[in-house]
Amino acid sequence: KAGVTQTPRYLIKTRGQQVTLSCSPISGHRSVSWYQQTPGQGLQFLFEYFSETQRNKGNFPGRFSGRQFSNSRSEMNVSTLELGDSALYLCASSSLITSGRAGGELFFGEGSRLTVL
């Protein structure tokens, strides 16, 4: 079974540009989450999608957006890039819906490393 696939793996942008990152979840997984990882802040939750609907959103500015398609693939977009957006962006997929209870393993991809110059 293929794992979570993220593209591109590496990219370099300049300030003011925008970027779109793609994530293909594990087959059958309907939930996709995005996290930003930086040396100083660690892993921070961006948003989570399930069945094309955003269920949760982290504390990031509106420049960060995402969407999920009917095949569960997801994209995230960052507009008007800033130097501080340089980070590893991780996508994770999950299969369980534990109604009324927290939990369920996240399966992470290798990430997309964004450098903003």
C-alpha torsion sign, points 52, 94, 10, 37: positive
| Ramachandran angles phi, psi of 73, nearest 5° | -60, 150
Least separation in angstroms between residue 5's CB and other proteins is: 11
Least separation in angstroms between residue 54's CB and other proteins is: 11
Least separation in angstroms between residue 71's CB and other proteins is: 19
Taking the least distance from each CB to other proteins, the nearer of 81 and 109 is 109
- Contacting positions for other proteins (CB under 8 A): 4, 31, 33, 35, 41-45, 48, 50, 55-56, 58, 90, 92, 94, 97-111
Least separation in angstroms between residue 15's CB and other proteins is: 26
Distance CA 89, CA 85 (A): 10
Taking the least distance from each CB to other proteins, the nearer of 48 and 85 is 48
Contact 117, 13 (CB under 8 A): yes
Taking the least distance from each CB to other proteins, the nearer of 70 and 99 is 99
Taking the least distance from each CB to other proteins, the nearer of 4 and 76 is 4
Distance CA 75, CA 43 (A): 18
Query: What 3-state DSSP class applies to 19?
Result: strand
Which two three-digit tokens encode residue 11? Answer: 């990219």
